[in-house]
Amino acid sequence: MKKLILILLLPLALSTKAQLLVDTHNDAISNQLITGADLGKLQPIGNFDLVRAKQGGLNAQIFSIWCSGQYSKGTAYAMANREIDSLYSLINRHPDMIAMVTTPKQLTKAVKQNKLAALIGVEGGHMIEDSIGYVDLLTKRGMAYLTLTWNNSTSWATSAADETTKGDSLKHKGLTDYGKQIVHHLNDLGVMVDVSHVGEQTFYDVIATSTKPVIASHSCAWTLNKNRRNMKDAQLQALAKNDGVIFVNFYSGFVDSTYAQKEGTFIRAHRPELDSLIKIYKDRDLATERLSAIHKAESDMVRPPLSMLIKHIDYIAKLIGVEHVGIGSDFDGSESFPQEMDSVADYPKIKTELLKLGYSKKDVAKIFGGNFIRVFKANKR
């Protein structure tokens, strides 16, 4: 009788098995240093906490370790470690909910234990302060990927912001010989090379240099929104040829070409209030996010529909294959996201929309986590 019951329950167990979901970019840790929030508990503001992550079916999160270009030699690496310390503190406070992982095997183990697998992405090559030794030390602390630049260039790699605004005034464009040495060293260490934020020349230099698949941890399609942070078709095709993956960013400004103008109108209407919030939070993006929460009904009108985000995923999948696209939300790193995407609890809505478009469950499984696992494993070989 027990065997019969087990046989009858087996199909149900298989059908309700949680689908692996990996998000490759989230800035909650950077914000935590400012707000002091305990992300192990449900938060009234922001996009991420461990409670809502569970609700959204999130299995693995790469936490961004970030500081602006105002930090440089003598300060940037220290800030990186301060944020990593904060992440480890969160894990130590909630060991039953979250675990640090540095390998695919550890990730699988954490998921089986019903814990969120936490990984580290260092967002900005300036945080290594031109030191390969710092690359080694950050890797020992858990760095899974290094974003070669943020908006600011380094001495060895140029950013999208600088390549598009500074032009001929740049001392160099793309990767220098030292930059190529850093890429090779990351390959040797099994650390993924992240090309979000880098300039086109740097991108193509990376593709020509890396011996492992590379990632774009949080970018969108340039054809749908001609923003310098988005990737052109030729770049996407080169990334696919490299067997890499682009993880689609949820930020309204990258998703919707009309967002900047609408957001500007909203900001001008509340300028004095925003200035006051900036004084409190010492961070413009966080202050703008709080302003949007205060005037939610009004700011919601500025947000693009969820369908626009889905179009970016669909466009990229059709252009270069479903094997080369994933999820890189940028939650807590921007002031606005598409309607219906308020927090990490809302990922299932993306799955629903993709299934409506005719994507198979197998396709969705690749987008939600399978493609990341493939690239993660390939870099560790």
- Of 226, 248, 156, 243, nearest to 198 (Cα)? 156
pLDDT of the residue at 238: 98
In a domain, 69, yes or no: yes
The pLDDT of residue 283: 82
Residue 160's identity, in one-letter code, is A
Mean pLDDT of 168-192: 96
**Within 13 Å, how many C-alpha atoms sit on residue 234's CB side?**
4
Q: What is the model's pLDDT at position 13?
A: 33
Contacts by 279-288 with C-beta closer than 8 Å and gap 24+? 281/34, 281/35, 282/34, 283/31, 283/34, 285/333, 285/334, 285/335, 286/31, 286/34, 286/35, 288/335
Is the four-CA dihedral 215, 208, 148, 234 of positive or negative sign?
negative
Do the domain assignments include residue 281? no
Is pLDDT at 317 greater than 60 in this prediction? yes
Per-residue model confidence (pLDDT) at position 5: 36
Which stretches does DSSP call E strand in the chain? 22-26, 60-66, 98-100, 116-123, 143-147, 192-194, 215-219, 245-248, 325-327
Within-domain flag for 10: no
For the chain, what is the mean pLDDT?
A: 93
- Confidence at residue 18, expressed as pLDDT on a 0 to 100 scale: 52
User: Residue 17: its pLDDT value, please?
Assistant: 45
DSSP 370: I
Tell me: pLDDT of 6 over 60: no
Reading the block at residue 12, the tokens are 């149900």
Over residues 114-130, mean pLDDT: 98
Share of the chain above pLDDT 90, in %: 86
Per-residue pLDDT band for 9 (boundaries 50, 70, 90) equals: very low
Q: Are 203 and 195 in contact (CB under 8 A)?
A: yes
Token reading at 29: 């840790």
Task: Give the model's pLDDT for residue 99.
Answer: 98
pLDDT in tens, 151-179: 999 999 999 999 999 988 888 999 999 99
pLDDT, tens digit (0-9, with 9 covering 90-100), for 287-309 = 888 898 899 889 889 999 999 99
Which of these, 212, 325, 335, 230, lies nearest to 283 by C-alpha position? 335
Residue 62 is which amino acid? I
Mean pLDDT of 44-71: 96
pLDDT of residue 282: 82
pTM for the full model? Answer: 0.93
Report yes or no on 263 lying in a domain. Answer: no
The domain spanning residue 153 has which CATH number?
3.20.20.140
Q: Would the pLDDT of 11 be above 80?
A: no
106, pLDDT greater than 70: yes
Give the percent of the chain with pLDDT over 70.
95
Instruction: Tell me if 9 is assigned to some domain.
Output: no
Average pLDDT score over residue span 9-35: 73
What range does the domain containing 368 cover?
Answer: 20-258+304-380
pLDDT reading at 239 higher than 50: yes
Predicted local distance difference test score (pLDDT) of residue 296: 85
Given a cut of 70, whether residue 85 has pLDDT beyond it is yes
Q: Given this model, what pLDDT does residue 159 score?
A: 98
Assess if residue 266 is contained within a domain: no
Mean pLDDT of 14-18: 39
Residue 270 placed within a domain: no
Q: In this structure, is residue 11 part of a structural domain?
A: no
Number of domains in the chain: 1
Which range, of 124-138, 198-212, 281-295, 361-375, averages the lowest pLDDT? 281-295
